[in-house]
Amino acid sequence: MTEQSCRDLRVLVTAGAAGIGREIADAFAGVGARVAVCDIDEAALARFRAELPGHEAFECDVSDEDDVDDLFDDVIDALGGLDVLVNNAGIAGPTGPVESLSPDDWRHTMEINIDGQFLCVRRAVPLLRASGGGSIINMSSAAGRFGFPHRTPYAASKWAVIGFTKSLAIELGPDNIRVNAILPGAVDGPRIRRVIQAKAASTGVAVDELERIYTQQASLGRMVDPQDIARMALFLAGSGGRNISGQALAVDGDTQALI
C-alpha cells in the first residue's frame, strides 16, 4: 500500500548521490516515484546518472543560497512540481572538546545541517502547496535527542532540526503539508567508521572499544542499516504516514545514550 501510494510522487533528496540519501533515492525510484537528487560530489552524481537513468541529479551545496535557488529552478523544469522534500544533507562536523573547536568549523556545521534545511524548505513550500499538500522529511540524528560530548556543533545542529520540524508542522498543517524528522542511530557504513576514528583521536579510547560501545549503546545491540532509514522515509511520504506530522522518529535500535 505504501509502495503504491509513492508511485509517481515527485521527490527531491538532498545529498542524494551517496550514503543514506542515495539509499532513500533508490527506494523512491524503486516504487515508481520520480526522483531528483542534489550533491556536491561530482563523481557520485555521475554514478547516480549512470545507474538511475530517467531520474535527475544536480550539483548543489545546500548551504549556498544561490545554489539552492538554481536547484529548485532545475527541479521545477525537470519534475514540473514537488510532492516530497527529503532534507538529508548533513555533515558530522568537528570532534573535540568545545574549547578546541574553531568558530569556522562550528559555523560550517550549522550552515549545512540547519541553514541548508531552511534554504530548501523556503523554496519547497510553495511547490508543495501548489501540489495540494505533501511531505517534508528532515534528517536529524540520535544526536538530536541526546547530548553528545565532543560533538557539540553536530548535536546543536540536530536538535535545531527538531525545533524547525515541529514548528513547520504546525505552520504547514493547514496546507496539508506534513513535516517529520527521522533520527537515525549509528548507521553502518563509511561515515560511521570516520566518526569513530575521529572520536578515538579526540578521546584516546581505542577504535575497537569505541566500535563495541557504538553497537552496545542500542538495546538491539546492532547498528542501523541505511535501508532502515529509506523504508521510514517511504512510509512517511506514502499513505501510511498520512496522519503523521510533527514527529521526531528514531530509527536507532533503541539507543540509550551517545558517548
Ligand X SMILES: NC(=O)c1ccc[n+]([C@@H]2O[C@H](COP(=O)([O-])OP(=O)(O)OC[C@H]3O[C@@H](n4cnc5c(N)ncnc54)[C@H](O)[C@@H]3O)[C@@H](O)[C@H]2O)c1
Using CB under 6 A, list all residues that contact ligand X: 14-15, 17-21, 38-41, 44, 61-63, 88-91, 112, 139, 141, 184, 186-187, 189, 191-192
Strand order in the sheet with 248-251: 56-59, 34-39, 10-14, 84-87, 134-139, 177-184, 248-251
CB 210 within 8 A of CB 95: no
Please state the closest distance from residue 243 (CB atom) to ligand X, in A: 25
The answer to whether residue 154 is catalytic is yes
CA atoms within 13 A on the CB side of 71: 30
Q: Name the grid cell of 149.
A: 560530548
Given the residues 28, 48, 148, 154, the one annotated as active site = 154
Note the maximum CA span of the chain. Answer: 53
Q: Is the dihedral of CA 241, 247, 248, 253 positive or negative?
A: negative
Place of cell 535545531: 160
Please state the closest distance from residue 54 (CB atom) to ligand X, in A: 20
Please state the closest distance from residue 252 (CB atom) to ligand X, in A: 8
How far apart are the C-alpha atoms of 98 and 209, rounded to whole Å? 23
Burial class (CB in 10 A: 0-12, 13-18, 19+), 78: middle
Please state the closest distance from residue 153 (CB atom) to ligand X, in A: 12
Q: Which residues are catalytic?
A: 154
